[in-house]
Amino acid sequence: MVIESLKELYNRDLNKLKKEIELYKNDTTLWKIENSIKNSGGNLCLHIIGNLKTYIGNGLAQIDYVRQRDLEFSSRFVERKELYEKIDETIQIVGQGLSKITDEQLTETFPIIIWENKTEMAFTIIHLHSHLNYHLGQINYHRRILEKT
């Protein structure tokens, strides 16, 4: 039951990510960095994707993804179509990864050490969802501040 709720939340919020990217009026603003804004909406999108493919993809779905974290923040002007495809792929991978565990396994150790120590599966999956939403909010504000909407 908890796993199904997590799948629903990740699916909902990754679709919100796609919607946020769609709401940018132009591609230039999607990749714009200005004043104290250090990360563009496009780069934050790539970062969310890379983070989830690394931890849920590699850790739970057992895909073979090699993260290039520096490119998540340095790539510029990736076409929206490609971003949408990457988001859709991430939705599938997250669903696949979460489907491989049971509610009972949520108290077990997450298969990848992300921080200095091992963490519980539930804690890590919830943390990764919080990380997604933190950056989703940043993308929303990035768009509204730079496009004055």
3-state secondary structure the chain: CHHHHHHHHHHHHHHHHHHHHHHCCCHHHHCCCCCCCCCCHHHHHHHHHHHHHHHHHHHHHCCCCCCCHHHHHHCCCCCHHHHHHHHHHHHHHHHHHHHCCCHHHHHCECCCCCCCCCCEHHHHHHHHHHHHHHHHHHHHHHHHHHCCC
Superfamily of domain 2-146: dinb family like domain (1.20.120.450)
> What was the pLDDT predicted at 149?
64
Report pTM: 0.95
Listed by start position, the domains of the chain span 2-146
Given a cut of 70, the residues of the chain with pLDDT beneath it are 149
